[in-house]
Structure 1
Amino acid sequence: MEVLHKPVSASAARRPILSARLQQRIETQFSARLRDEWGGRFVTHGKSPDTNDVRLDGNDYLAITGHPEIVQAQLSSLRSDREFVLQSGVFQLEGNSAWQLERAFCDWLGVEDGLLCQSGYTANLGLLQVVADADTPVYMDSLAHMSLWEGARAANAPVHAFRHNDPAHLAKVMARHGPGLVVVDSVYSTTGALCPLVQIVEAAEAAGSMILVDESHSVGTHGPAGAGLCAQLGLTSRVQFITCSLAKAFAGRAGFFSMPAQLRNYLMCHSFPSIFSSCLLPHEVAGLRATLEVVKRSDDARRKLFANTLRLRGSLSDAGYPIHQGSEQIISLEAGLELDTLALRDALEAQGVIGSVFCAPATSRNRAMVRLTLNAGLTEAELSHVESAARVVAAKVKPWEWPIARRNRAQPA
């Protein structure tokens, strides 16, 4: 007689037992937060957007997703690249398509050499792991991206934070600890603040320090042909390392960093993400190559992005939102407490505006925010809708009473 075995559902299956220590950490570090501050709903999960909502929760600043040239390049590669061997990038020979794309990026940015990575995170992690060490102080802007902090940690480097966008404080900290590596973002990912890069570079040079600039939110949007803030300010030749995520203006999944050519082979032997991760796939490389050409000639989109930024920043300020901490296409609505931030997010979504909740560890504790990211594709109707919604929401959440607004009023003129 045949015996039929019923499949066991996942919910009915016996769960492996977690250690008591791990369960305690989950309870103290997360469960109470989920229950008491987030109301039982995961903090970043708002409503599902519908076709009438205006989405300001992505990073495609130039609105190039689905561009026909990019799609065609990817399709052509998928149809033709059948002999490709998937392996770590360190095994790929010079002259392959990824190497050619690296050369194209170097020519565009005006740098000597560079390397493609799997993401902006691995670009920062893999570069810092190599160029810093236990005897190299790393001077980190207090709002630098988490991947930069993790890169310094991987290098076992002594990290000294300096006040956000404060070159004078940076100079004092370097005078105390000696020359090392200065690390900044050109445009900060939570606030949209622009780095005072000229003064930062001058301070680094005066102290004999190298400098790393993460241009994830300025490559493609700033500078000649979108080559970034360093190029715009004429600083490229004075900056040792430029890094960027290609998941922002490039709307892809990769990263890149520049370096002096003498570092290339040394880095390939010591950077763990380069050694122990697989290379990009041919259709990804082909798509990025086509994207680079689209980005170069997107001056109209850059002008539109800056016009949209100027307009919405002005409208939001007029409506009472304290957004003085930034100036670029990323706009931070810093409600403060997570409970207040979720109320802000829900109020915006009720008006058909979709943003992203940022909270610890992406921000400092009790400085949670709804981040709005603008793009060049926003229409007149969409911009007007956001402005109208912001006024309605302001009457409910009273942003002029947020902690950041009170702190700003308390500061001397």
Structure 2
Amino acid sequence: MDWMEKELERLNDASLERLLRGSAATPQLPGYTLRGERLLLNLASNDYLGLAQHPAIIDQMRETLLAEGSGSGASRLVTGNRWPYIVLEERLSRWQGSEAALVFANGYMANSGVISALVGRNDVVFSDRFNHASIVDGIGLSRAEHARYRHNDMEHLEALLNKHQDKRRKLIVTDAVFSMDGDAASLVKLAELKRKYGTMLMVDEAHSGGIYGECGRGLCNELGIQHEVDIHMGTFSKSFGVYGAYVCGSRTLIRWLVNKARPLIYSTALPPSIVTGIAAALSLVEAEQWRRERLFSLSASFRSRLLHAGFKVGTGNSPIVPVIVGDNEAVLRFSKALERKGIEAVAIRPPTVPEGTARIRFSLTAAHSDKEVNNAAEIICATGHQLGLIRR
């Protein structure tokens, strides 16, 4: 197995080796993380609405844990489909205005399971080049042809749709908000192409659910195209502050997935305490509009400060604010310098992002204060200048 050591040495030499980042405990304050004995302002979390430590969620999970036990005991198709699942899925379908809903263990399993259940040999999936790895892997598992279109390039997509009109089943799949770039998909145009070419349309709202739309229903809802989407997927590990994922759609779709989605069929069900925690989070997501308003205000201010300083910042209005550095070693230096100054900001490198686009992926949360975000922006700009990443 010497080949492993050689490949790891190559990754290390190219500043591409990944390491598990340890912390002494879970964050002690919303918006912060404890690393060793140092409390760092967390600008790398997906806890967009600041719900991960909400007392109402924790209390509900504790109550269910004591009443129902620590685990579900089996897959959902055996004995793991406990009562909290039924209650939650009914609420999710009402929230999204769909006929039915289905909860998965996590987003990766949802995407890989749904795509591989919907298409196979002789079919084709049209996928944005910047889609999440779980979508890419789901397409690979399906054995369908993978037609990748250039990021948000609708002309390229339409050319591919024309080319593959002879395929049996056709699926367009996209992130709503792209996790490493923070920009949004051209969802209105995608819905138009879906109608024109008779394809299925699947949208992953992992980084937009809870943030956009009425009651946090997502970007498809905000744009008024939610009923054009055949497969609406989202996660509970980001804006909801818990864990898991869901798929909403027609009753026929959900029946099909129960019978064909292998990650659902062959995985142990989520513990009941997690499921009731999600339900508690859903109530907060629906009711507390102020969290979304605060998040967008902080994100706009932070993005503006970094752009004005001269950083190359990704487009969009989401709480994901990527600063493109380019060089792998330089982005690691930037990340470590910010950590020394009290900011948790993680370097993102290939293959997660394309070669030559290594970046710091900043992400904000409604739990941050104006003062914290302003101070962080000042430190980031000063550090970028000291490292020669920007010129004043």
TM over 0.5: yes
**1:281 equivalenced with 2:271 (yes/no):** yes
**Contact kept in structure 1, 2:149 and 2:156, CA below 8 Å:** yes
Partner of 2:203: 213
- Counterparts of 1:185 and 1:388 in 2: how far apart (Å)? 32
Spell out, residue by residue over 1:12-36, the C-alpha distance to the aligned partner (whole angstroms, 9 max, x if none).
xxxxxx3xxxx224413x22221x2
Partner of 1:9: none
**Contact kept in structure 2, 1:319 and 1:394, CA below 8 Å:** no
**1:376 equivalenced with 2:366 (yes/no):** yes
User: Within 5 Å, which residues of 2 pair with 1:134-283?
Assistant: 134-178=121-165, 180-283=170-273
**1:72 equivalenced with 2:72 (yes/no):** no
- Counterparts of 1:42 and 1:106 in 2: how far apart (Å)? 39
Q: 1:162 to 1:82 in 2, by over 3 A?
A: closer
Partner of 2:92: 105
- Counterparts of 2:149 and 2:111 in 1: how far apart (Å)? 19
Q: 1:93 to 1:81 in 2, by over 3 A?
A: closer
Structure 1 stretch 313-322 or stretch 91-100: which is displaced more? Answer: 91-100
- Counterparts of 1:77 and 1:196 in 2: how far apart (Å)? 41
- Counterparts of 2:119 and 2:302 in 1: how far apart (Å)? 40
**1:291 equivalenced with 2:281 (yes/no):** yes
In structure 1, stretches of 5+ residues that fail to align are 1-17, 402-413
Q: 1:124 to 1:87 in 2, by over 3 A?
A: same
- What SS is found at the alignment partner of 1:331? strand
User: 1:126: Cα distance to partner?
Assistant: 0.6
**1:360 equivalenced with 2:360 (yes/no):** no
Q: Which amino acid aligns with 2:319?
A: Q
Structure 1 ranges of 4+ moved more than 6 A: none
- Counterparts of 2:213 and 2:322 in 1: how far apart (Å)? 23
- Counterparts of 2:70 and 2:376 in 1: how far apart (Å)? 49
Match of 2:11 among 33, 40, 51: 33
- Counterparts of 2:111 and 2:86 in 1: how far apart (Å)? 19
Partner of 2:3: 24
User: Within 5 Å, which residues of 2 pair with 1:43-62?
Assistant: 45=21, 48=35, 52-62=39-49
User: 1:110: Cα distance to partner?
Assistant: 1.3
Q: 1:370 to 1:90 in 2, by over 3 A?
A: same
- What SS is found at the alignment partner of 1:53? strand
Spell out, residue by residue over 1:271-314, the C-alpha distance to the aligned partner (whole angstroms, 9 max, x if none).
11011101111111111111110111120010000000110000
- What SS is found at the alignment partner of 1:291? helix
- Counterparts of 1:295 and 1:157 in 2: how far apart (Å)? 36
- What SS is found at the alignment partner of 2:209? coil
- Counterparts of 2:37 and 2:289 in 1: how far apart (Å)? 30
Identity over aligned pairs, percent: 25
- Counterparts of 1:256 and 1:316 in 2: how far apart (Å)? 35
- Counterparts of 1:399 and 1:291 in 2: how far apart (Å)? 40
Q: Which amino acid aligns with 2:3?
A: Q
- What SS is found at the alignment partner of 1:279? coil
Q: Normalising by the residue count of structure 1, what TM-score does the alignment of the two structures yield?
A: 0.86
User: 1:265: Cα distance to partner?
Assistant: 2.8
- What SS is found at the alignment partner of 1:190? coil
Match of 1:332 among 313, 322, 343: 322
**Contact kept in structure 1, 2:231 and 2:249, CA below 8 Å:** yes
Spell out, residue by residue over 1:140-186, the C-alpha distance to the aligned partner (whole angstroms, 9 max, x if none).
00000000011111110100110111222211111111261111111
- Counterparts of 1:298 and 1:360 in 2: how far apart (Å)? 37
**Contact kept in structure 2, 1:244 and 1:256, CA below 8 Å:** yes
- Counterparts of 2:100 and 2:5 in 1: how far apart (Å)? 44
User: 1:50: Cα distance to partner?
Assistant: 5.5
- Counterparts of 1:285 and 1:397 in 2: how far apart (Å)? 46
Match of 2:299 among 309, 329, 335: 309
- Counterparts of 1:215 and 1:334 in 2: how far apart (Å)? 24
Structure 1 stretch 93-102 or stretch 116-125: which is displaced more? Answer: 93-102
Structure 1 stretch 47-56 or stretch 154-163: which is displaced more? Answer: 47-56
- Counterparts of 1:83 and 1:144 in 2: how far apart (Å)? 34
**Contact kept in structure 1, 2:314 and 2:321, CA below 8 Å:** no
- Counterparts of 2:355 and 2:155 in 1: how far apart (Å)? 26
- Counterparts of 2:70 and 2:242 in 1: how far apart (Å)? 23
- Counterparts of 1:92 and 1:389 in 2: how far apart (Å)? 53
- Counterparts of 2:207 and 2:219 in 1: how far apart (Å)? 9
**Higher Cα Rg: structure 1 or 2?**
1
* Paired residues, number: 377
Spell out, residue by residue over 1:77-122, the C-alpha distance to the aligned partner (whole angstroms, 9 max, x if none).
1121259851111235988220220111111011121211110100
- Counterparts of 1:375 and 1:93 in 2: how far apart (Å)? 34
User: 1:51: Cα distance to partner?
Assistant: 5.2
User: Within 5 Å, which residues of 2 pair with 1:83-94?
Assistant: 86-92=73-79
- Counterparts of 1:387 and 1:94 in 2: how far apart (Å)? 46
- What SS is found at the alignment partner of 2:182? coil
**Contact kept in structure 2, 1:171 and 1:204, CA below 8 Å:** no
Partner of 1:411: none
User: 1:43: Cα distance to partner?
Assistant: 5.1
Q: 1:94 to 1:245 in 2, by over 3 A?
A: closer
Spell out, residue by residue over 1:302-348, the C-alpha distance to the aligned partner (whole angstroms, 9 max, x if none).
00000001100000000111114443110111211211110111222
